[in-house]
């Protein structure tokens, strides 16, 4: 009876999972990019390892409740039972082995799927050819749209990203105002976009098609419409897209960017044939508007002042030490006429220059 009940539970679980996922587009488990595919495999492996404990426990709950019910006179009654070495080994050994396996998987994938790590393969069977240069795309999260700059091609687009298949892509990601999250489920995992900071992502697309991208971090009223399309093309198609953009786009200079930066909802796709060469750096350092000082310049000036201040502070400390050494003989004389103690004479007055040294540091 117990075995029949167990088989029924397993069958019902399988049918339930099939019904719940049968009509779903499981993009994470059927990704078109190698990084996303590896992440999908990680989900399956982790789920399987955890199910090795969860499923038997759920089954045992039902089996134990049925086997040791009140009116089952065939069950063995042992009111004095309190220990089983075999049961203890199963209860503690199985979870320990699973935790070790999960730890190994986590350690390996944390390094191999590091978004800052340059790619070494196009997919599981193809390494990246020697001398291959990644396509560089600079991503800016705006309110509430996405700007994609191709600095090596001198073009840009809004709410449309195009990449050739089987070509590594390096994304440099920042934001204009608030924190966002850049996410293309078919390509790779989500990466945060933060104003004044830059994150990075290496990825590659292996199949042609049109894929969804969006913000995965709430950023205000237009967040739900902050979406874009990733167009995966062969090299010839990508070259045509570039030429079309150069032929029909406008110019993205600092003035055009300041207009684009203003909050909008459901921004239509549009392209720019030319881009100011220093625009992304100005966005990152928050100095696009005329008359504003770049963060990099501010930090460089502060570092220079701190460097000079440290030199001055060190000179002050040397002078203080020399003065203290010169005062030591007189202190030794006074100490000789006083009762002997285990503590040497101390200078109790701290010169003001030392306080200045602390401020410089």
Question: How sure is the predictor about 318, in pLDDT bands with cuts at 50, 70 and 90?
Answer: low
Least confident of 11-15, 234-238, 350-354: 350-354
Q: Beta strand 270-275 with 155-158: parallel, antiparallel or unpaired?
A: antiparallel
Q: 209-215 and 180-184: which strand pairing? A: antiparallel
Q: How many CB atoms lie within 10 A of CB 5?
A: 14
Confidence of residue 64 (pLDDT cuts 50, 70, 90): confident
Q: Please give the structure tokens belonging to residue 256.
A: 């055009």
Mean pLDDT, residues 75-90: 85
Of the chain, the percentage scoring pLDDT greater than 90 comes to: 60
CA distances 37 to 100, 187, 188, 278, Å, are: 24, 8, 8, 35
CB count in 10 Å sphere of residue 185: 22
Which of the residue ranges 124-128, 186-190, 278-282, 333-337 would you say has the lowest mean pLDDT? 333-337
40 pLDDT tier (thresholds 50, 70, 90): very high
Mean pLDDT of the chain: 83
The residue ranges of DSSP E strands in the chain, in sequence order, are: 121-123, 126-127, 135-142, 145-150, 155-158, 160-164, 169-175, 180-184, 188-193, 199-203, 209-215, 227-233, 250-252, 270-275
Instruction: Give 254-263 contacts, CB < 8 A, sequence gap 24+.
Output: 254/279, 254/282, 254/288, 254/289, 254/290, 257/283, 257/288, 258/288, 258/289, 260/142, 260/145, 260/147, 260/158, 261/142, 261/143, 261/176, 261/177, 261/288, 262/143, 263/143, 263/144, 263/220, 263/222
At residue 305, the pLDDT reads 66
Burial 12-21 (b: 16+ CB within 10 A, else e): eeeeeeeeee
* The pLDDT value given to residue 116: 96
Measure CA of the first residue to CA of the last residue in the chain; give whole Å: 77
Do residues 245 and 271 make contact, with C-beta atoms less than 8 angstroms apart? yes
Beta carbons within 8 Å of 308's beta carbon, 6+ residues apart: none
Range in 102-111, 214-223, 266-275, 347-356 the model is least confident about: 347-356
C-alpha 349/C-alpha 54 separation (Å) is 68
CB atoms within 10 A of CB 140: 27
Q: What is the pLDDT of residue 27?
A: 84
Instruction: Give pLDDT tens digits for 246-261.
Output: 998 789 999 999 999 9
Tens of pLDDT, residue by residue over 210-246, are 999 999 999 999 999 999 999 999 999 999 999 999 9
Can you tell me the distance from the alpha carbon of 198 to that of 263, in angstroms, rounded to the nearest whole number? 21
Average pLDDT rounded to a whole number, residues 297-304: 82
pLDDT of residue 21: 52
Determine the average pLDDT of the residues in 306-331: 52
Q: What value does the mean pLDDT take over residues 66-92?
A: 85
pLDDT of residue 22: 52
Distance from the Cα of residue 285 to its chain's centroid: 21
pLDDT recorded at residue 300: 86
The CA-atom distances, in angstroms, between 203 and each of 130, 170, 239 are 17, 7, 20
User: Mean pLDDT throughout 85-97?
Assistant: 90
Q: Is the dihedral of CA 127, 133, 135, 139 positive or negative?
A: positive
Residue 321: the pLDDT is 56
Cα separation, 191 vs 115, in Å, equals 8
Whole-angstrom CA distances from 240 to 11, 135, 235 are 52, 16, 9
pLDDT at residue 9 is higher than 50: no
Query: Range with the lowest mean pLDDT among 32-46, 58-72, 245-259?
Result: 58-72
pLDDT tens-digit series, residues 141-164: 999 999 999 999 999 999 999 999
Average pLDDT over residues 288-317: 74
- The CATH architecture annotation of domain 125-292 reads Sandwich (2.60)
pLDDT of residue 275: 97
Give the pLDDT band (50/70/90) at residue 119: very high
Decide: pTM greater than 0.85: no
The per-residue pLDDT for 146 is 98
Residue-level pLDDT at 337: 37
* pLDDT beyond 90 at 139: yes
Domain locations along the chain: 2-71+83-112, 125-292, 295-316+350-361
Report the CATH fold assignment for 2-71+83-112. Answer: Helix Hairpins (1.10.287)
Q: What is the pLDDT of residue 339?
A: 39
Mean pLDDT across 13-36: 69
Token reading at 341: 């103690």
pLDDT digits (tens, 9 = 90+) for 319-345: 555 554 554 444 433 333 333 334 444
């Amino acid at each position: 009876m117990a075995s029949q009940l167990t088989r029924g539970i397993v069958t019902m679980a399988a049918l339930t999972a099939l019904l719940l996922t049968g009509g779903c587009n499981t993009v994470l488990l059927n990704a078109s990019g190698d990084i996303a595919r590896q992440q999908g495999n990680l989900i399956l492996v982790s789920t399987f390892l955890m199910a090795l404990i969860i499923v038997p426990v759920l089954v045992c709950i039902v089996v134990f409740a049925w086997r040791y019910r009140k009116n089952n006179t065939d069950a063995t009654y042992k009111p004095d039972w309190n220990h089983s070495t075999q049961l203890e080994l199963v209860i503690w050994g199985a979870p320990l082995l699973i935790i070790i396996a999960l730890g190994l998987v986590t350690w390996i994938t944390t390094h191999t799927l590091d978004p800052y790590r340059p790619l070494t393969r196009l997919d599981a069977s193809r390494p990246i050819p020697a001398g291959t240069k990644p396509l560089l795309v600079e991503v800016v999260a705006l309110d509430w749209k996405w700007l994609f700059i191709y600095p090596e091609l001198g073009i840009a687009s809004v709410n449309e990203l195009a990449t050739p298949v089987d070509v590594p892509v390096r994304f440099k990601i920042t934001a204009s105002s608030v924190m966002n999250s850049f996410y293309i489920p078919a390509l790779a995992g989500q990466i945060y976009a933060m104003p004044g900071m830059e994150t990075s992502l290496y990825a590659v697309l292996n199949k042609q098609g049109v894929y969804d991208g969006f913000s995965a971090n709430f950023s205000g009223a237009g967040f739900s419409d902050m979406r874009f399309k990733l167009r995966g093309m062969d090299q010839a198609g990508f070259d045509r897209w570039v030429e079309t953009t150069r032929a029909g786009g406008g110019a993205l200079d600092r003035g055009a960017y300041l207009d684009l930066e203003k909050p909008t909802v459901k921004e239509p796709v549009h392209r720019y044939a030319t881009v100011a060469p220093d625009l992304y750096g100005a966005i990152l350092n928050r100095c696009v508007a005329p008359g504003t000082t770049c963060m990099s310049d501010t930090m460089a000036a502060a570092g220079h002042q701190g460097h000079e201040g440290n030199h001055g502070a060190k000179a002050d400390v040397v002078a203080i030490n020399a003065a203290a050494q010169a005062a030591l003989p007189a202190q030794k004389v006074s100490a000789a006429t006083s009762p002997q103690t285990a503590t040497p004479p101390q200078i109790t007055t701290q010169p003001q220059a030392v306080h200045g040294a602390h401020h410089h540091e």
